Structure 1
């Protein structure tokens, strides 16, 4: 037990150490990209990707990234020839800014996959607020160490702040969404992306060297950039879009810092504004495209999941579920319907429902009702239970309980029927009625049904001014026969007597067993004259 805990602790420490080293190296390497050529008119870099790396590392791996960022910042500043005090003070600001930015994003429930436009707004806002700390702290450190003139402080501060903000916008989405699993799962796509980036770089090199007019260069570059950016953002999402935008921005910054390219200008303000506008436009466009694609993917995923759930409900339903379109053709026929009607789904889909499950004598009424619904939208028989007769594959008819519901999907009028076979219910109901109203032995109406029939006969006689008769029949010496010959013989006698009485009566007359060997006959529709009746 102790050994397993010790091994677990060692693994945790190794993981923390690896993350620490990885964050520090990533910070230093991206810092070198920002330092490939500082702008000739400023001591601050135009693009500082390490800010985004730091925020992303803190959000992904927590507190272990904070000392890594601090130490890496000190190392970078020392490599630039800064004093230890200056390096430490700048490192404090460059560490505190990512910590605050990460805190803001987590507090505001920022989704690192950027699935909504709200996430873009949160990202931009948090970057702009958080990077105020690094830019302000950095400029104050430079000023206190006499590395920045008083009249240049505002300009240097602004360049520093914008460079950090753009660095966060560019690097943070990539850091938060890049992982080994995605890279291995999309190896072919990754190779494809690298290939197109190389093709783009070659095209851009040709444009810069062959086209000397800056306006034409800009137009050609824009036409080249847009399709690559849109394709990468839609094909690879945030990761692909971020890689493309970072490549474009680093290239643009390097050319501008060297005094070349479309964005370099003798007017420092104009050149910086053009470059920053270009970078911000690229990153916002990439984020918007990725967000819209994410929203689309989420909607498609939810739709697929809902379809799966709906399909599971339909397929597992005990009732038959049948759907027809506005032409009366079947578009849904679930397994319960297959079992109930004897058809397979493949046999009936696309066929008129009336010819499949509706008896011939009811088809005309079905066509009329369905046509009225499709033309007027009237739902007189919808959303209530109806008892109808349906037809199986072999032509046999059986009673069903039907509930109809209408749905308008993409302009297509659909009607869904939920059908339940009530044959057993009907049979059980008949059995109950038989036990309640008929004598078990003879099958004749019992006392309860006799009273009902007699009341009905009296009402008919009063209405038609005719007479009815009530005859009581009793079997003589039945008890003696029953006692001497047994109950079985007595029962057979009662059954035979019941048959003979029924045979001698007219249709519509009633014979009932009152009790034991007593029978009652009701004769209806007799003559108006009581004597003749």
Structure 2
């Protein structure tokens, strides 16, 4: 028969294993975030990157969206993974210098500050309220990414790589990081909530939406600018009928296709200067992301309100039914009663 001392030893062993497992799991998460961050940076530099004054400019920088999504899903403790991912990216692009520390600091502080701002206003990762969409746009993307853009462009300026193009580089850096948050973060938050098997009673409509997107989107982007907004009806359809599950993937598709077209200098962006292509891309990606995010959040919020109202009505009806006096059944008159005839 085991003694009480054996039980204490067993509990101590389990506690020791748990103490080892938690740091190990945290280290794995940090390494995973770093690898995904590096993969996003590699994708961001494949196509659609223009160069001004020796500086690479990406109209859509996925790592910022990956970093913010990781913070929202895993907590602030994974911030070293963002720094490590930035280090991996810098090592593969050029020899490390002292300025790399400033770039790593800016790329880490920007999503961390965005995360803290979103937590401050009670942001929910379901993005089912209009206030959540507005917070992600103005706090997570436009405000938080000021840090990385200012740090990155400022360091390039101090190194003499931007003798005359600081404003262009800063604007491109800021909008590229902001677009990464607006386009990539909602998509990743959606993917992490998906549970298989998918259950929906609108498979025929979903199939029709996919076919329309496959036909209209390349047609709109590969033609002249007069047709570039043909895909907006499809985007609105996706947001109205499927909310974030439909609009987030489609917004990402439109942005990626537009960047590929602009990088190849044909289609809707042919015969345009660097500044014109950059401004057109930023305006297009911004309009797509805002329409997708805010419209989907508004529709989801309205659906939640209707569901809560229906639930409240059902609960009220149940309470009224319990409190209402029961009516006694009326018995027919019997023989011998005074009122009988």
Q: TM-score normalised by the shorter chain: which range applies?
A: 0.7 to 0.9
Question: Could you give the per-residue CA deviations for residues 467-487 of structure 1, whole angstroms, max 9, x where no partner exists?
Answer: xxxxxxxxxxxxxxxxxxxxx
Q: Which has the higher contact order (CA 8 A, sep 6+)?
A: 2
Alignment pair present for 1:79 and 2:86: no
Match in the other structure for 1:287: 293
* 3-state SS of 1:112 partner: coil
Alignment pair present for 1:310 and 2:324: no
When Rg is computed on C-alpha atoms for both structures, the one with the higher figure is 1
Contact map agreement 2:79 2:112 (CA 8 A) in 1: yes
* 3-state SS of 1:183 partner: coil
Provide the C-alpha distance between the structure 2 equivalents of 1:149 and 1:89, rounded to a whole number of angstroms: 16
Q: Tell me: CA distance 1:315–1:117, structure 2 relative to 1, closer, same or farther (3 Å).
A: same
Shift of 1:15: 3.4
Provide the C-alpha distance between the structure 2 equivalents of 1:22 and 1:283, rounded to a whole number of angstroms: 27
Q: Which of residues 176, 198, 201 is equivalent to 1:186?
A: 198
Shift of 1:299: 1.0
Provide the C-alpha distance between the structure 1 equivalents of 2:179 and 2:186, rounded to a whole number of angstroms: 12
Query: Which structure has the highest strand share of the two?
Result: 1
Alignment pair present for 1:39 and 2:50: yes
Shift of 1:157: 0.8
Provide the C-alpha distance between the structure 1 equivalents of 2:149 and 2:229, rounded to a whole number of angstroms: 31
Question: Could you give the per-residue CA deviations for residues 180-206 of structure 1, whole angstroms, max 9, x where no partner exists?
Answer: 5x3325266899869955763455446
Shift of 1:117: 3.0
Contact map agreement 1:237 1:293 (CA 8 A) in 2: yes
Q: Tell me: CA distance 1:120–1:208, structure 2 relative to 1, closer, same or farther (3 Å).
A: closer
Contact map agreement 2:212 2:234 (CA 8 A) in 1: no
Q: How does 1:10-409 map to 2 (within 5 A)?
A: 10-37=20-47, 38-41=49-52, 43-126=56-139, 127-146=141-160, 148-180=161-193, 182-186=194-198, 197=210, 200-201=213-214, 203-205=216-218, 214-215=224-225, 218-219=226-227, 221-223=228-230, 225-317=231-323, 319-320=325-326, 337=327, 340-341=328-329, 392=330, 395=332
Match in the other structure for 1:9: 19
Contact map agreement 2:137 2:290 (CA 8 A) in 1: no
* 3-state SS of 2:169 partner: helix
Contact map agreement 2:134 2:294 (CA 8 A) in 1: no
Contact map agreement 1:58 1:66 (CA 8 A) in 2: yes
Contact map agreement 1:253 1:275 (CA 8 A) in 2: yes
* 3-state SS of 2:165 partner: helix
Which runs of 5 or more structure 1 residues have no equivalent in the other structure?
A: 321-336, 342-391, 397-533
Shift of 1:40: 5.0
* 3-state SS of 1:266 partner: coil
Provide the C-alpha distance between the structure 2 equivalents of 1:236 and 1:277, rounded to a whole number of angstroms: 25
Matched positions, count: 319
Contact map agreement 1:183 1:190 (CA 8 A) in 2: no
Shift of 1:280: 1.0
* 3-state SS of 2:122 partner: coil
Provide the TM-score with structure 2 as the length reference. Answer: 0.82
* 3-state SS of 2:56 partner: coil
* 3-state SS of 1:262 partner: helix
* 3-state SS of 1:60 partner: helix
Provide the C-alpha distance between the structure 1 equivalents of 2:111 and 2:220, rounded to a whole number of angstroms: 38
Q: CA RMSD in A?
A: 3.0
